[in-house]
Amino acid sequence: MKRIALAALIAGTAILPLSAHAANVTADAGAKIVAPLQIANSTALYFGTIAPSLTSSDSVVVSPAGSKTCGSELTCLTDDHTAAQFKVSGEADFSYTIELPDSITISNGAGGSMTVDEFSGSKDGGKLSAGTDSFTVGGKLSVGANQATGEYTGTFTVAVNYQ
Amino acid sequence: MATFIPNPRPKTALIVALIIGVATTMYATSVAQSGSSDPEFEGNAGAVIINGLRVIKRQDLHFGTIAPSLTEFGTVQTNRGRNNDSVCGPTLTCFAPGTRARFTVIGEANRIVTISDPGSIWITDAAGNQMLVDSFTGAGSGNNTHWRGWQRLRPSGISRFNVGATLYVNPNQPRGTYVGQFTLNFEYQ
């Protein structure tokens, strides 16, 4: 009798179809990758050739538009100054912002140095129409009294970020 | 005198007769073997029928719009618990936030359901570029939820189940729309 009862229970359990025990479901997974933001420098920020005062310090300012203001204590000998130019590329129609440094030091390799600060851009950010855009950067060079002669160089970093 | 009426389904009738014959024989044999003076016995027979398990997708898994780094790897994690709360790696820029996948599980009230994920999948763009998706994580609205463990269906028999995952973005990953599929298996415990 027990054997028969056991057989009946097994048969009962088998009534549940296998498909009712489990279910699979499929979903999509996706992502959109846009072009990375890139920036390239095509023209350096350059203040030209300057004769310092023997007794007073002063400054030279190059505007983002490329104009130069030479301090009254200085003599700006050349007119070859340039604002820095940058080209930005990325995803078309996306916007970006610009970060400029506070100040940097440029040096002549012989112990002489000058400070460049008050960096200013032609814009705070832009839109990548057709995937590209450009902007310029100017700054202020502080020239010490009797500043040592030499060719002064340095680098500054400009960062751009998708907005 | 009897009138003979031809059976329209003679094969069916024959099969029924044979089954009855076998059943009768088995019954007689069983009684004979029991040796009891009482020819009756009782056998238990039972069955438990539960609601079939169904899973409905409510929302796909999407990692949003991402700008890769030119030089470094990055990851994006979609949050299994909340929408629009993806974690964008520091080397990436994420725009539109990602969304978790959402499912509704329908079955027997209070039953435990085990859930398994695919482990990892690839999503691909039209040019054949790929990105890896893994570390699937799940969370549900039931009392107890564990990924790759189990989820107890709510008393209503309906529970929600959400899935997040991690996307791996290569340096300078080619731009494009990447798609793929993943399959989850839900099973009564």
**Tens of pLDDT along B64-95?**
999 999 999 999 998 766 656 688 999 999 99
Nearest CA to CA, how far is A109 from chain B (Å)?
32
Q: Which chain B residues are Cβ-neighbours of A160 within 8 angstroms?
A: none
Question: Is the per-residue pLDDT at B169 higher than 80?
Answer: yes
Q: Average model confidence (pLDDT) for chain B?
A: 77
Q: Is A136 exposed, middle or buried (0-12, 13-18, 19+ CB in 10 A)?
A: buried
Section B167-185 average pLDDT: 96
Instruction: Please report the residues numbered 1 through 40 in chain A whose beta carbons come closer than 8 angstroms to any beta carbon of chain B.
Output: 1, 4-5, 8-9, 11-13, 15-17, 19-38
The ipTM value here is: 0.73
Q: What is the pLDDT of residue B38?
A: 57
Mean pLDDT over B38-63 rounds to 83
Residue of B nearest to A35 (CA): B175
Whether the per-residue pLDDT at B178 is higher than 70: the answer is yes
Q: Which pLDDT does position B79 carry in this prediction? A: 73
Chain B nearest C-alpha distance from A83 (Å): 27
Report which residue type is found at B90: P
> Strand pairing partners for B159?
B105
The mean per-residue pLDDT over the stretch A17-29 comes to 78
- Banded pLDDT at A84 (limits 50, 70, 90): very high
Residue-wise DSSP of A32-80: EE-PPPEEEEEE--B---EE--SS--EEEEE-TTS-EEE-TTSEE----
% chain A with pLDDT above 90: 86
pTM above 0.80, yes or no: no
Report the pLDDT value the prediction gives residue B58, as an integer from 0 to 100: 95
More confident residue, B39 or B52: B52
* Rounded percentage of chain A residues whose pLDDT exceeds 70: 88
φ/ψ of B13, rounded to 5, equals -60, -40
- pLDDT in the model for residue B156: 93
Kind plus residue range of the DSSP H or E element containing B32 = helix B10-34
